[in-house]
Chain A
Amino acid sequence: QVTLRESGPALVRPTQTLTLTCSFSGFSLSTSGMCVNWVRQPPGKALEWLAFIDWEDDKYYTRSLKNRLTISQDTSKNQVVLTMTNMDPVDTATYYCARIRETSGSYSFDFWGQGTLVTVSS
């Protein structure tokens, strides 16, 4: 079955770089149509799509954070990594990774990780 799990630091200092890892199973990111995304949710607030990486290693980012985000994959480890530079307290959020199966043409997140809360504080 498909599972995704986020991991990374629970606490980050302002101006530091955040590195989050999404470890997944039940599918391969080298399979045509498979994509992994990062989505975040500040406490009590709405979901925000952040980044997308696909089976051809193409990458897309939300415009507002494009200069701070990098998404990458390690196909051999079934992992996707998100880095976000220059962290600020407003970046405090639960960060989720989620799958899209583009072959279905739906651009919907069919499987999600449980999320990891990242707090930015000095």
Chain B
Amino acid sequence: QSALTQPASVSGSPGQSITISCTGTSSDVGGYNLVSWYQQHPGKAPKLMIYEVTKRPSGVSDRFSGSKSGNTASLTVSGLQAEDEADYYCCSFAGSRTLVFGTGTKVAVL
């Protein structure tokens, strides 16, 4: 159950698109279509942004999208806005009803 690997930071200008990667193994990310993504603003609880790799919960902007290829999942934020500046975490089912989070990515809007 090693943490999934994410880049420490990603930045972009308003209006641009950014992509955050989340790399695991065939025992977690690659083995199940059960990757979720969370946005966390300072001092706040995480918020579900993407589940089952590509699905968006009701109320989440369609600027957020998810994908997966092999052992790597990705979150793309299009039309970057100031309010998107936050920490982002991926999470994957890892079998036997266990879960593993990513190392986290700080997104900066320049």
Does residue B45 face the partner (Cβ distance < 8 Å to A)? yes
Total A-B pairs, Cβ < 8 A:
70
Does residue B109 face the partner (Cβ distance < 8 Å to A)? no
Asked if A108 meets B51 with Cβ closer than 8 Å, knowing A64-B1, A113-B45, the reply is yes
Q: Mark A17-56, 1 if CB is under 8 A from B, else 0.
A: 0000000000000000000010100000111110010100
Docked-complex contact B98 and A58, CB < 8 angstroms: no
Docked-complex contact A112 and B97, CB < 8 angstroms: no
Q: Measured between C-beta atoms, what is the minimum distance from A110 to chain B in Å? A: 6
Q: In the assembled complex, which residues on chain B have CB atoms less than 8 Å from the CB atom of A47? A: 38, 40, 46, 89, 91, 101, 104
Q: How far is the CA of A39 from the CA of B103 in the complex (A)?
A: 14
Please classify how large the interface on chain A is, using the bins under 10, 10 to 19, 20 to 34, 35 or more: 20 to 34
Q: Number of B interface residues, CB 8 Å?
A: 26
Q: How far is the CA of A37 from the CA of B48 in the complex (A)?
A: 15
- Of all chain A residues, the one with the shortest Cβ separation from B36 is A108
Asked if A46 meets B104 with Cβ closer than 8 Å, knowing A63-B1, A96-B45, the reply is yes
Docked-complex contact B46 and A49, CB < 8 angstroms: no
Docked-complex contact A60 and B98, CB < 8 angstroms: yes
Closest 10 CB pairs of A and B: A108-B51, A108-B36, A112-B45, A46-B104, A49-B99, A47-B101, A107-B93, A60-B97, A106-B51, A107-B34
